[in-house]
Chains A and B, each alone.
Chain A
Amino acid sequence: MEKSLQLEHPYDEFLRKDRIPHIWCEGCGNGIILNCFVKALQELNIDLNKVVVISGIGCIGRLSGYTNTDSYHTTHGRPIAFATGVKLANPELKVVVISGDGDLFAIGGNHFIHAARRNVDIQVICANNFVYGMTGGQVGPTTPLEALTTTTPYGNIEQPFNLVHLSTAAGAVYVARWTTLHVRRLTESIKKALQKEGFSFVEVVSPCPEIYGRYNKMGTALEMMNWFKEASEVRHFSDPAKAEISSEKIVVGEFVDIEKPSYGRLLQEMIAKFQEDKEKKT
C-alpha cells in the first residue's frame, strides 16, 4: 500500500515537487494550462536545462515557480521585456512567457505589441480569464461588455480586446486560441508555438469560477466548461478581426502560421557579417 503511494507522477520531472500543491482555486483553468505546457515539453523532448519560463504578476504568474526549469517571476506587466533580454543574450535558450490577460495586455500591453512587431523569438501563452483574479476581481482589458466585476458593479462599459486580432495585427508569426476544454488541441498548439521561430502567441480562454464566474452567475467550474463547449466553434485560419469572444460564440483554432525571420536571427546575421568582414581584412 505504501509503495503505491510513492509512485512517481509522469510529470514529476517537469515540476518542482516541493512547491506543489499550487495556490490556485478549485476549478481554475491554470492547472490545465500548466499541464498542457508540461505535456508539450515532454512530447517535444526539449532539454529542460535550456528552457526558461517567465511570468508576470497575477494568479498564473505563479506558474513559473512550479516548472522544474530556470524560471523568473518579474514585476507586473514586464515578463515579455525581461524575456527579450534573456533570449537575445543567450539565443540557445527556449524562452516562454506564461501570464494573464491583465499582465500581458493592460500594464504590459506595450511590451506585447513591440515584441510581436520585432518578432522576438519567444513564445507567449496567455491565460485569459476576463478578470483580475488575484486582486479580487476587477475589470480587465478582456472583460466583456456588461460583465459584472468589483469595479464595474453596474456592468462593464469598456470594449474588450480581441487578443487574436491584436496579436495578428502586431505581427505574431503564430496565433492560436483554445479554451481549457480543448486540452489536446491546446497542447498541439503549444508544441507548434515552441517549434516556431519568432513571436508566437497562444490564447487560452480559462475559467475563473471563484471570482469572475461567481460575480456573473455563471455557475460552477463545470458549468463554465460547459459554456466553453457550447460556445466554441473551431474555425482554423478564419479572420481574426471577426473572432471577438461573446457569450454565444468563442471562435477557436489557429489564426496565423507564417514565416518571418526573427529579430534574433537578423541580429546574429548582422554580428556574423561583422566577424566575416574582419576575417577578410586580416
Chain B
Amino acid sequence: MEKEKKAVLAGQHFMSGNDACAEGAIAAGCRFFAGYPITPASELAERMARRLPQVGGVYIQMEDEIASIAAVLGASYAGVKSMTATSGPGFSLMMENIGLASMTETPCVIVDIMRGGPSTGQPTKPGQQDVMQAKWGSHGDYEIIALAPSSVQEMFDFTIEAFNLSETYRVPTFVLGDAIIAHMLERVTILSADGIQIVNRKKPTNPPSEYAPFKPDDDLVPPMACFGEGYRFYATGLTHDERGYPQTDSALFQQKLVQRLCDKIRKNAEEIVKVEEILLEDAEVVVVAYGIVFRSALSAVRIARSQGIKAGLLRLVTLWPFPDKQVSNVAQKVKRLLVPEMNYGQLVREVERVAKRTPVVFLPKLGEEPHKPMEIVEALRRV
C-alpha cells in the first residue's frame, strides 16, 4: 500500500516533460528501465534512476541503445512492464530489436524525444523527423502504435496510454515527444492510483501442456505467459507457428504470421486511433497537426477565425496506425488541408495518401523552434 502511494505522485506538480513521462511510466506499472544517455532524453533516464529503486524497480544503464532495447525485451518476457527512452540516433540503433519485439509480440514502451537530424544533427533542438522511422525503421512488414503528446500533462497521460496499448496488443508502442516538450515545465495533475486506468497483458488460462504461445484469441492477440511461470515456451525472431517453433520454409507460415502481426493493429485501429477535432463544422481549410506543432496550430486557427477565415484543426493524437478514416472524412468535406510539420515532409505523405483529391499544402519547419502561429495563419490565408 505504501509502495503504491509512492508509485503514483498524486497531486499538482510543476515539472518537465521528461519527468512527467517517467512518472507516467511508473504510474502505469513500469518497473524496468534500460537506457543510454542521449540529449534531449537523458533527464528521463535520470528520473528513472532515482525513482525506480524507490518503488522496487530496476534501472540499468546499458552499453548502447541496442543493448537497452534488448534488455527491455528480456525484462518484459520476465513479466515486468519495461521501457526505454532515447532520441534519433539511439532510436535508429533500436530498430533491429523493435523488429524482434514485433515478431515476438513483446509489450514495451519506447520514448523517442525527437531532435534535429539526420545523424547527430542538432541534439538540443526539437524536430518531428522520426515519425516515419517509427513506422518503417525496422525491416519487414509490421505495425506499431505511436502517440504524439503536445504538453507536459500529455507526456504523463500518453505514457500511461502507451503502456496500456502495448499490453493490450502485445506490440512495441512509441511516445514521440520532442526536445521542447521534454524540457519545458508545465503544470501536471496526477490523479490518485484509483483514478488511473491500468491494463495488464492477458495471461493464458489453459495449462502449460495445452499452451501455444502464439495462438491468438479472436482479437488476434495471443495470451502471454512469462519466463518462470512453468509454461516452458520458446520464442524466436524466426517466422514461427502457433507453438513458437521456427517455420522458415513454407510461405503459408510467413503469410499467416505476418498478416496477423499487422492485422491485430489494423483491424483494431478503430479502438486505438484518437484524434481531436477543433472548429471543423463549417471549416473550409483544415490544419492537420500533431505534437508540439499542434499548439501553434491551435493559436493559428483561432487567429484565422478572428480574421474571418473558416479554418479548422484536426489534431492527430495517434500517428500510427495512421488515422486514415478520420483524415479522409475531414478531407472530403473541406477545400484544402494544411500540414505544418517540424521536418521536410514526412507525415504529410500519409495525409496526401488518404486526402485523395483534396489538395494538401505542406508547411515545413526545420530547426530551433516550431512554426509561429502567424506563419500558419499566413499559410492559411494563402491557401
Contacts and interface: CB of A to CB of B under 8 A. Distances in A.
Interface stretch (B73-81, B151-159, B263-271, B335-343): B73-81
Contacts of A69: 232
A275 interface: yes
Interface in B77-136: 77-80, 82, 96-97, 99-100, 104
A88 B80 CA distance: 10
Interface residues of A, number: 43
Interface centre among B34, B58, B99 (most CB of A within 10 A): B58
B78 A93 contact: yes
Interface of A: 16, 18-19, 48-50, 52, 54, 62, 64-65, 68-75, 78, 81-90, 92-93, 110-111, 114, 263, 267, 270-271, 274-275, 278, 282
A89 B79 contact: yes
Contacts, number: 147
Contacts of B4: none
A269 to B, nearest CB: 10
Interface stretch (B62-70, B141-149, B176-184, B319-327): B62-70
Interface stretch (B223-231, B306-314, B375-383): B223-231
B264 to A, nearest CB: 21
Nearest to A267: B58
21 contacts: A64-B236, A65-B236, A72-B104, A72-B234, A73-B237, A78-B96, A78-B100, A81-B67, A84-B34, A84-B60, A85-B70, A85-B72, A86-B227, A88-B32, A88-B58, A88-B75, A90-B80, A93-B78, A110-B64, A111-B63, A271-B57
A274 B31 CA distance: 15
B82 A89 contact: yes
B71 interface: yes
B253 interface: no
Contact of A84 (B31, B71, B79, B235): B71
Contacts of A111: 63, 66-67, 70
Interface string B1-30: 010001000000000000000000000000
Nearest to A271: B53
Contacts of B58: 88-89, 267
A70 B79 CA distance: 13
A275 B64 CA distance: 30
B140 to A, nearest CB: 12
A111 to B, nearest CB: 5
A82 B58 CA distance: 15
